Structure formats: C-alpha cells, structure tokens
Structure 1
C-alpha cells in the first residue's frame, strides 16, 4: 500500500481525546463556560458532540502540558463566538505569533495567522485560544479567505 492508494486510516475518523485530572470539574467547565453537555458518559470519560464530530474528555492521572493547541472549533464568526464565550467566563490568552496577517498584535484576543490551515483555499485564519479547567489549550477559529 502506498500513499496514493490511501493508507489504512484514510477512511477512519479522527477523534480528539482531552485528559482531565478531575472529570467533574471538567464537566462543569464544559457546561457552564462552553454550553456543552455530554451525549454519553462512562466512569472514565465524557463524550461530547459538536457539529459533525465529537470529542472525549477522559479521566487521567497525567496533566495536560497546554504547550500547544489540543483541539479547535472551526466557526463561521469568531468575533461573535469569542464575545459569547467571554460572557460565559472564558478567559482568552493572547499570543504574539510570527506571520500575523497585517503584522499587528492580537486584537481583542483574536489573532490572525497567515498560512494557518483553516480550510482549503483560505489564506489563513483568525483565532483565539483559551484553557479548559484541566489546562488543555483549546481554540476557536474562522478562515480568512
């Protein structure tokens, strides 16, 4: 099997798994701050569904490093989503990244990143980052066409 044939995972669907040292604390964060409720739960994890995909928050003895974006929601209007999440108590982090569109600083917590792969045909994305109750670094983004 070579790359042009598609590898064994080409038909698989990626699923994000986020670690949580305190599953109940994470459940409260996702409900109160993000407005999300699990669609299924087991003793070791919570399954959430958003759009056409899903993700799992699972009980873990390890801590998330939060050194990189672990999951991102792609949204149509990042400004509106950031404003609503702020209203719900989400605190956004501001990053100065190389390749900022227009060469500027983050504006109101939203950074424009040239070449960031939001969707095919986009020249970059506008995004904002925040941490969940467990230290996982999450983001919301919208493509810049």
Structure 2
C-alpha cells in the first residue's frame, strides 16, 4: 500500500456558515477550497481535515475532531472571547468543571460547532 496522507472529514449542512464559524471562532482559514467537491481543506499542525456539504451534519453524538493545544486555559479564554460556549458533562467516566475534564494525562474541553459537530480541544500533561 502506498497511502499519501489522511484527511479527517467534518460534515456541514451549510458550508458557508461552517467556513465563517471556523474562521471567526477558531481563527482557521482554508488551505484549499474544493468547490467542485463541495468542501474546504484545513491544515492544523500538519494534520488535515475537510469541511464538506452534506445533509447528515450534526447527527454524530461522538467527538468528531480533537484539536491539540499547548495551553488549554489560554485557548479556551480566546475561544470564549470569540463566542464559543463549552459543554458541561457529568456522566460516568467524564465530569467537567468550567468546561474542563481531567483525563489522566490530558485536560480536555468540548464545544459544538455551527453544524452540530462535537469538537474537543486537549492539552497533554
């Protein structure tokens, strides 16, 4: 096998709205617009993900994407300043305080993007 790269995909029911959200709330610009394919390709730290148009956006109930950061508190403060709201969870194995869960060697927080996708940000200890 000769795989060249991998690309994660996130569904968007309104691609223009999703592009604006990722720009305004996360400060991300597309590396490539693939208008013929109905998507936009983003690069974060060398990893790729694509937002693509589909009617199935927001139907997954799991974390669709994790963005790793070196300073979770500063990243969350910046994102909150842009209008991002973090989820609170209280279930077996996962409890957040002020949006943050302590998970062994990692601190994580989750938010829901404009398309209903669950996105995590994480800082490894």
> Please, what TM-score do these two structures have when normalized by structure 2?
0.89
Distance 2:122 2:78 in 1: 14
Q: Which has the higher strand share?
A: 2
Higher relative contact order (CA 8 A, sep 6+): 2
SS in 2 for 1:109: coil
CA contact (8 A) 1:97 1:113 kept: no
In the alignment, structure 1 segments of 5+ residues that lack a partner are: 1-7, 115-123
1:68-116 deviations in Å (ceiling 9; x for gaps)? 100001111111111111011111001124345xxxx5222111123xx
Pairs aligned (count): 123
Distance 1:129 1:89 in 2: 14
Structure 1 residue 13: Cα displacement: 3.7
Larger Rg: 1
| CA RMSD, Structure 1 to Structure 2 (Å) | 1.8
In the alignment, structure 2 segments of 5+ residues that lack a partner are: none
SS in 2 for 1:56: strand
Matches within 5 A, 1:1-145: 8=1, 13-43=5-35, 44-99=38-93, 105-114=95-104, 124-144=105-125
